[in-house]
Amino acid sequence: MNILDVLFCRVGHTCPWWICFTFDNPLRRQLQNPDLILKDLVQQGQTALDIGCGMGYFSLALARIVGQEGKVICIDLQEKMLETVRRKAKQAGLNNIQFHRCSVDSLGLTVSADFALAFWMVHEVRNQPKFLEEVRDSLKAGGTFLIVEPKLHVAESAFDRSTAAAEAAGFKIIGRPNVSMSRAVLLGKP
């Protein structure tokens, strides 16, 4: 392990709930506007998964985009994260969000979704091949999956390994969206 790995917390861990308050701020909204990132990827009436939803930075935007005919399933390992999204959804008047607490070893999903988002979290997953297979199995045929990882935290070689694991799980690369300060890949389920 080198000093950069330590400084940028590149050693495997789950981001603690208390640090996620820093992720929702005006500067980030300028650099990573959820509506702009998601607007062409999700449609009204669809079911979307926000995997590793944290405190709901993308969840609320997803819920507005899919509308009342659609739904968003917020998935997180930490109950504190889900509690915060519940509160934010209630304050925003969004009732098309469901909440699911996963385990370290499994998403535990039994849904069929149109879209899945894993924003700045895949590097925290211990068993990426299993995780990617679970996401694949949770998507409808033709469903899409956006993986976004932080450049300062995830080396390009690690991101390439995650992308290769996604292809091995049966995903096809559709594109590589430009997301500020990030590495991103849009995947499709045939």
Q: Which two tokens stand for residue 137?
A: 């199995």
Confidence of residue 25 (pLDDT cuts 50, 70, 90): low
CA distances from 190 to 41, 50, 187 (A): 16, 21, 10
Kindly give the residue spans of alpha helices, DSSP state H, lying in 116-188.
Answer: 128-138, 156-168
Q: Are 183 and 161 in contact (CB under 8 A)?
A: no
Give the C-alpha separation, 181 to 149, whole Å: 9
pLDDT in tens, 101-137: 999 999 999 999 999 999 999 998 999 999 999 999 9
Phi/psi-derived region of residue 135, left when phi > 0, alpha when psi is between -120 and 50, beta in every other case:
alpha
Q: Are 25 and 86 in contact (CB under 8 A)?
A: no
Q: Which pLDDT belongs to residue 9? A: 44
Give the C-alpha separation, 103 to 7, whole Å: 27
Q: Are 150 and 121 in contact (CB under 8 A)?
A: no
Q: Are 82 and 101 in contact (CB under 8 A)?
A: yes
Give the C-alpha separation, 37 to 127, whole Å: 27
Give the C-alpha separation, 27 to 25, whole Å: 6
pLDDT in tens, 50-103: 999 998 999 999 999 999 999 999 999 989 989 999 999 999 999 999 999 999
Distance of CA 19 to the CA centre of its chain: 17
Q: Are 161 and 130 in contact (CB under 8 A)?
A: no
Say whether 177 sits in a helix, a strand or coil.
coil
Q: Where are the domains of the chain?
A: 33-188
Whether the pLDDT of residue 140 is over 80: the answer is yes
pTM of the complete model: 0.86
Give the C-alpha separation, 190 to 180, whole Å: 28
Task: Pick 33-188's CATH classification: 2.40.50.100, 3.30.70.330, 1.20.1250.20, 3.40.50.150.
Answer: 3.40.50.150
